Every structure is written in C-alpha cells, then in structure tokens.
Structure 1
Amino acid sequence: MALPKLPTRKLGKNGPQVTALGYGTMGLSAFYGTPKPDEERYAVLDHVYKSGDLFWDTADIYGDSEDLLGRWFKRNPGARENIFLATKFANYVDPKTGERQIHNEPDYIRKAVDKSLKRLGIDQIDLYYCHRIQADQPIEVTVKVMKELQDAGKIKYLGLSECSADTLRRACKVAHIDAVQMEYSPFSLEIEEFGLLEACRELGVATVAYSPLGRGFLTGSVQSPADFEEGDFRKFMPRFSPENFPKNLKLVEDLKTLAHEKGCTAGQLVLAFLIAQGDDIIPIPGTTKIKNFDENLDALKVKITKEDLEKIRKAIKATQVIGSRYPPNGTKGLLVDTVPLEEWSKTHPGE
C-alpha cells in the first residue's frame, strides 16, 4: 500500500526526516479515562498509519500502550518498517505503594529497554528517551548507558525529556542527543523562557513538542473541569482546577477569535503556530478520535504569517496562565539539573 507523503522535518543535525506532525499514543491507553476496546484503538492506529503520519510516540508508563502497538504491528506485517517509533524509560510506579518514582540507574535502563523491545515485538527502537531525569545521578552516567544501548543496536537515536539547558549541554558531551521532548504550546512556554530551546538549536537537537494543544484545553473542546471523565488525570492538575480553569479560558477564547479570522480551528492555529517557530519543532498531538486526528493533521495546511505570529504572541502575553503544569510531586521532575559528575564520583568510586 502506497502511503501519502506528508511534510517532514529533520530530527536534529544527525537524525532522519520524520513526519512534521507526529502522533502521541498516550491517550489510547492511559491518563484520559477508561481506554476504549482494542478494536476501536486498532481502528485509530490504522487510520493514523494510512494518513501517512509515521512518527509515533509512546512510553513504558502509558498503561498498555507498548503492548497495544506490539499487537498492532503483528496485525499489520510490514508497517513497522515505515514507522519511526519513539518510546521512553524512567517513570516507574511502585506496585505496592502506588508511589511514582524516577529511575535512571544503569541496570534499570538496561532492563527497561529489553522490556520495551519485548512488549513492542521489535528488534530496535528508533528513538529512546529518558522520560524523566533523576536529579541525584549525573546525566553523564545516564547517557553513557544510553550510548551503550545505541552501540549494541537496541536503539538508534537518543532523547531526553524535561531536561534543563545545562543538563542537555552536559549530555551532549557524552553522546549527541537527537531530540528533546518538552511540553510546548501557547499554554506552556518554559522551553523558551529557560534557555532550553536556545541550547537545542546551539547543539543541533530537535524539539519534540508534547501536549501541544494544552492537553486539549486550547482546542476549546472542554469548557469546565466537569467535562473530564472519571480517571482523567487533568482533574488533578492545578491549571485545570475549578478555581483556575475559568481564568485560563481567556487565552482559549482569544485563540478561537484569531482562528476564526484565519478560517481554521483553534487547535489548528496552535499547531501551525508551533510549526512556524522553526524547522526544528515537531509537535506530537495525541487523540483517541479519528475526527480530531484529521483536524490536527490539516494544521499542516495552515500557513502562519508574520502578522499572525504577532497576534498570537500578543494574546499569549495578555494572559497570565494560572496554575502549574503538574501537581507538586510531578513538578520536581521538570527542567531538571543533575548532580555534577565530579561531586557524585566522590561517593561512587569506580562507577
């Protein structure tokens, strides 16, 4: 089957061309309420594949996501070769306590990659991210193991998520980091504000923008916390609290107005805005609905002018986003700096 050819972007200075708008699979399996039956989820993946969107993103913490993709690959012989697949390690939930932990220890990483390969039913992961960074272990130790896995052929390209600019620079001295995944949208501009985007460009690292639609908020499809079903993790995020939600709607309404003037939806405007930030930005919106996926993909057809950019930036500046991106226990894992290697080595001789 000949697949449509969508626009592509280079994944950092050493990486391949990947679809300019990727697909995040998280919502199919976790965090946004009860997952749909397998056949419905397969139908979504079938549609995404047939659209020509071939940059797929998952993680070992996304419920049964890796298993689901592994089953889908078995159902679709030959499809794996066309898809550029990213997955991640480091987030761990203790089965006894339910406590979420971050693990970057070398043995943990080696076991995690083997488990992901087995669940996915593949021989090599295209892009392997450290999903969250363990602050009390030097990033040099983490990346050294990732490079070891790359040299062994288990992974092709290396990624970090929610790192600081300093952490990225240190990491790149051990091995080139091909992509940094960060939450990035008009709702979340930390990557610009803390110098990380500048560091990515300085080092030739692509930026993969997760939650580019503000977890659906910026589409205007949710108007109240009451719209979130039971089990939806947005219920626990400060910026979606009953108190903060209506205050943050101002930005949504302003974007909807600009989108109407542009002749597109608010979601398409936001995705096109991110794409227009540079050829190194690759948003990966996720959805469980084919209709929403098609709408997102059509953002590739929306051309953002300099005047449009100025209007959108003005709307962003006019709104103060209220509430943090994650609850307190999740916030500590964002834009992480790690302990210096020299300091750590004093208490870990020979490691």
Structure 2
Amino acid sequence: MAETAAELAKGVAAGERAALARAITALESQRPDRAALGQAVLAASMARTGGAFRIGVTGVPGVGKSSLIEALGMMLVERGLKVAVLALDPTSERTGGSILGDKTRMTRLSGASGAFVRPSPTSGTLGGVGRMTREALLLCEAAGHDVVMVETVGVGQSETIVARMVDLFLFLVLPGAGDALQGIKKGIVELADVIAVTKADGEARLKAAQAARHYEDALAILAPRVASWRPPVMEVSALEGAGLAALWAMLERHRQVMQETGAFADRRRVQNRLWFETLLDQRLRDLVLGLPGMAARIAETGDAVAAGQIEPGMAVLSVLERLNAWFGA
C-alpha cells in the first residue's frame, strides 16, 4: 500500500531519517505523482519550519568544503544539536548523471545520531543549488534539525542564489591564494558573511595566516553586505579541528547581531519572495514546455539559433508568437 502524505509528514515530524529522505526524494522526482506527494508533505510540514540556522557553504573545488562541514557538524552533534547537510553534487553535462560523492566523503557525519546528510544533483540548475533545495531545507527544519548547511558546487559566480537562501553565507578559501586582488571572486566575497581560510595546519599554517591578512585587506575596501556586520576572516583546520569552536562562535555571533538589528527577519522575507519568484519561473517554464508541440518548437528554434540561421531576439519573438496564438492573445 502506497505511503500517504499524512503518514510521511508524520514520520518527518518525528525526526525519522528514512522518512525525511523519502520525502525529499519525492520532491526531487520527475514523476508528477511523486512530486505531488512531496509537495503535499511539505505543505503539511510548513508549520514546523523556520526554526533552524541556515548556513550556506561555498568555495572552489578542493578547498575542503566537505571536510570542514563534517568536522563542524560532528562538533555540533557532540554538543547536542541536530545537523542536516544538503550537499549539492554537480550533474554531468555529458551524461546527465550525478557523482553523489559527498555522502561517501562524510562517512562519520552520515552515521552520527542526530545528523542527516543528503547529496542531491544540481540537474543543471544555476547557482550551484538543486531545483528543490529550498524545499529540502524546509523539510529538514520540519524534522527538527537545529542547523541546516547547504554545500554548493562552488563553481561559477552564480552563488548569489544560495546566498539569498540562507541566514549566513560562509566562503571558504585556500591558503596561499595570492595577494588581496589575485584570484578573488569579488562577487562572492561581497556576499560573504564570514570568510574562513581552510587547511590551516602543518606547513600551510603560515600561508593560511598570510591569506587571512590578504582577505582582510580586500574586505577593508568593500562595502559590507549589511551595515551592522563587517565579515571577519577566520583560520580553520578540519584535519586538526583547530579553529572550529571559534568559527562556530563567530557564526552564532552573526546570527545574534542580525536578530538584534532586524536584519535577520529582513533576510528571511527576501528569501521567501525569491522562493516564490523562482518557483513561478520554474512552473511557467514547465507549463510552456508541456503545451502540445512547444517543446519540439523550442528545440528546433534553439537549433536554428545555434546554426546562425536566426538571431536570438527574433527567435524568442517567434516562440512568444506561438504562445500568443495558443492562448488566443
């Protein structure tokens, strides 16, 4: 007998990891009936959402995002907090498949009581986040998690999407990254609430300290994201556990300042509006592609644009004319 939305929502509310995983899987499903089930579970769970500390974690590949998240997550679990990690996995442009390796890398945290690690494919979605990341985040909150960390793919400069989805945006950088201007993703640095130099251990400890000073110099000439908070630069080591307690204290300090100044509530309101607008864009696109013949027409028009047979602007107009004809406009 198929599981009902009420039954699944009850399991999520009880903090059952298996139920939470099934609910997120339903949300991510391409099958309309499964996706509808996931949406029904989310609707039934909304009253339990909003209480978690939402943290976005980004950085270039190789910076140690998964290692840092696992080390920090384990520390929080040991302190009695429930931690969820949504580890976004890049979808292959060639095969459409996803490596889904973060759960394998976070073996300790995945098996820890009170922790939930969920790898999800980005499926080509911009911003290094998945199509249903916001919904998955809310379900994690409904399951009683105190902290939800979203690990982005860490490529490109579209990370603004995840920065607008969380309460705090943590930007991880490597030691020995060069001077204050070289190699800095200025757009992401401007969005960062906290910057952490990773792998600050062993022979790299001195380079990490130098990198921290370089980023502090760079931040001094950038306007802060909010007037009440100037992003600090921390040094951490997932390998040795050094700096983790100080990093978490800084993250909590940020939340406190944001709540006291009203910026926390403002950011949540912006998140809700962005969620609505993003969902509307997705649903409108799905609606258009679902019209008889429209998917093929758009694909053919795209081929013509690629071949240089029609200018992109004119191609869009031709598609809109077809839509107008369909709706009788």
TM-score relative to the length of structure 2: 0.35
Larger helix share, 1 or 2: 2
Q: Which has the larger radius of gyration?
A: 2
